[in-house]
Amino acid sequence: MPLFLLMVPIGVLLLSGCSDRSPPAALTSPFDTQQLVVATRNGPTTRYVGRDQLPTGPEHDLVTAFAESRGWSVDWRVFESTAEVIEALATGRAHLAAAGLTHLPERSERFEPGLVHGEVVQQVVCHRDDRPLPDTIKDLAGVDLQVTGDSSYVARLEELARTVPDLAFVADPSRSSEVLLTQVATREVGCTVADSSIVRMVQRYWPHLEVAMNLDQTESVGWYAAASRPDLAEATRDWRGSDPGEVAVAAMRERYYAHIGEFDFVDLRALNRRLDERLPRYLDEFRQAAEETGLSVDLLAAMAYQESHWDPQATSPTGVRGIMMLTRPTAESLGVKDRLDPREAILGGARYLADRRARLPEDIPEPDRTYLALASYNLGRAHVLDARRLARELGRDPDSWAEMREVLPLKADKRYYPQTKYGYARGYESVRYVRRIRNYRDVIDQALPD
């Protein structure tokens, strides 16, 4: 059945699709079955299938950790929109909704609020070339504004429309925030509203997206249990307040958000352009190097982009050269005869990174081991060993990148580096180096052919 338009009194256009609303059989409590049925949404801030064909994502990791803490399995019900997730919870097809849902008073009247794992701000996002962008609520009148249906954005815009009569928008439950942001970037939609966490993720792929204004103050994001499951909601809140819950939330934030940093339009626009112009020329070399070293193609490509922007003729004032920016001694030790030959340089750089990684203790978990290897590639193994020793002296975990990224800058602090074996080093640059590679890697991974 085709989508249809329905006009409602305050100027909202609601797009609605047909769906099977027949009530399913009631779910048995997870406390009895040891199986948790979870409704989530397919997206980078919720749950998705990665290039390795394994499920991943912030909500996936947290739900998995919570379920494992109770000895439960998880039955995932994955939908494409917030509206579908809400409907699944309301109609009894899920015990729990974990889909980046904002905790709203009207939702908390229908469902049982579970744990909170973050905060977001609703942001109006437009194409940066459509200046002047709206920067007040009144400026939104007359704007082609479209949002995902049954969302916190609809509730906020309905509230604003009561004071700005000309404010109108389309609420479409069939399109997610990620889809709408993509349509803004491709000029199919004027503007949309999305949570700041989603905007941060998507902007890296579509750098022409620009935040025009914030709609509201920060709001809590977390889980909801079905109205009949207050015991489940309480269990999630109790787990969130426990040490394992704190660790799981911190790990989730470190894995998915810590490396994104401030949006850099010029840098990300250049990256996205070079994905088409330069990367295809060297993709076979990255694949060969990945096959030989066991490192991933996206990691090697991201490191090479950070080093040279995929320019095989790159040269720095300090004498490092080529697509992997190798020093002459390093190149010679790796058997690289011509640093400006991209095939030789990529394979040499991959071997060098693999060696940095192999020299680290095997019990360091991934991805921390790879991040420490990248820091060693950039700063030198000796200085990273110094920083690891310093971490132990300070009572920090030398195997955790989240902790080492705070310790490495101390190699440039005169209160600390005189005590280290190898002295001063710009450890803060290595932290930035790793962060940028992680950010580039996310974008590159999505661009690689299957």
The mean pLDDT of 198-209, rounded to a whole number, is: 95
DSSP state of 23: P
- At 53, the pLDDT band (50, 70, 90 cuts) reads confident
Q: Output the pLDDT for position 271.
A: 96
Which among 84, 178, 210, 307 is annotated as catalytic? Answer: 307
Average pLDDT of the chain to the nearest whole number: 92
Which of the four pLDDT bands, split at 50, 70 and 90, describes residue 1?
Answer: very low
Determine the pLDDT at residue 24: 53
Contact by Cβ (8 Å): 290, 300? yes
pLDDT tens digits, one per residue of 112-170: 999 999 999 999 999 999 999 999 999 999 899 999 998 999 999 999 999 888 899 99
What's the pTM value of the predicted model, to 2 decimals?
0.84
Cα separation of 394 and 408, whole Å? 12
Output the pLDDT for position 85: 96
CA distance 191 to 17: 22
CA trace torsion 332, 337, 343, 346 (10° rounding): 20
User: How high is the pLDDT of residue 262?
Assistant: 81
At residue 21, the pLDDT reads 42
Question: What pLDDT is stored for residue 318 in this prediction?
Answer: 82
Residue 19 above 80 pLDDT?
no
Alpha-helix runs per DSSP H in 359-426? 368-379, 381-393, 401-407
**Per-residue pLDDT, 25:** 59
- Distance (Å, rounded) from C-alpha 291 to C-alpha 336? 18
Q: What is the mean pLDDT of residues 394-416?
A: 96
Q: What is the DSSP letter of 47?
A: B
Mean pLDDT, range 372-397, rounded to an integer: 97
Residue 320, beta-bridge partner list: none
Q: Is residue 390 scored above 60 in pLDDT?
A: yes
State mean pLDDT over 195-219.
94
Task: State which amino acid sits at residue 267.
Answer: D
Task: List the structure tokens of 85.
Answer: 């997730």
Predicted confidence band at 17 (pLDDT cuts at 50, 70, 90)? very low
User: Are 47 and 41 spatial neighbours (Cβ–Cβ below 8 Å)?
Assistant: yes
Closest residue by Cα to residue 293 from 348, 345, 330, 333? 348
Kindly tell me if the per-residue pLDDT of 11 is higher than 80: no
Task: For residue 321, give the 3-state DSSP assignment.
Answer: strand
The alpha carbons of the chain give a radius of gyration, in whole angstroms, of 25
For residue 367, whether the previous peptide bond is cis, meaning omega lies within 30 degrees of 0, is: yes
- Region 395-421 average pLDDT: 95
Q: Judge residue 287's burial from the number of C-beta atoms within 10 Å of its C-beta, 0-12 exposed, 13-18 middle, 19 or more buried.
A: middle
Supply φ then ψ for residue 375, to 5 degrees: -65, -40
For residues 271 and 445, is the Cβ–Cβ distance under 8 A? Answer: no
In contact, 81 and 179? CB cutoff 8 Å: no
Buried b (16+ CB within 10 A) or exposed e, 167-199: bbbbbbbbbbbbbbbbbbbeeebbbbbbbbbbb
State the pLDDT confidence band at 450, using cuts at 50, 70 and 90: confident
Cβ–Cβ < 8 Å for 193, 176: no
For 421, residues 6+ apart whose C-beta sits below 8 A from its C-beta are 382, 385, 386, 389
Q: Concatenated DSSP letters for 7-43?
A: E-TTSEEEEE-----PPPPPPPPHHHHSEEEEEEEBS
> What sign has the CA pseudo-torsion 272, 255, 356, 404?
positive
pLDDT at 227: 96
Does residue 195 sit in helix, strand or coil? strand
Residue 317 has pLDDT above 90, yes or no: no
DSSP 8-state class, residue 17: -
Residue 132: the pLDDT is 94
Residue 439 burial (10 A CB sphere; 0-12, 13-18, 19+): buried
How does pLDDT run across 252-272, given as a tens digit for each residue? 999 999 999 888 999 999 999
Q: Which of 1, 31, 4 is nearest to 15 (CA)?
A: 4
Does the pLDDT value for residue 110 go beyond 60? yes
Say which residues have a Cβ less than 8 Å from residue 413's Cβ, sequence separation at least 6: none
- Closest among 193, 190, 235 to 215, alpha carbons compared: 193
Question: Is 307 tagged catalytic?
Answer: yes
User: What is the rounded average pLDDT of the residues 90-95?
Assistant: 96
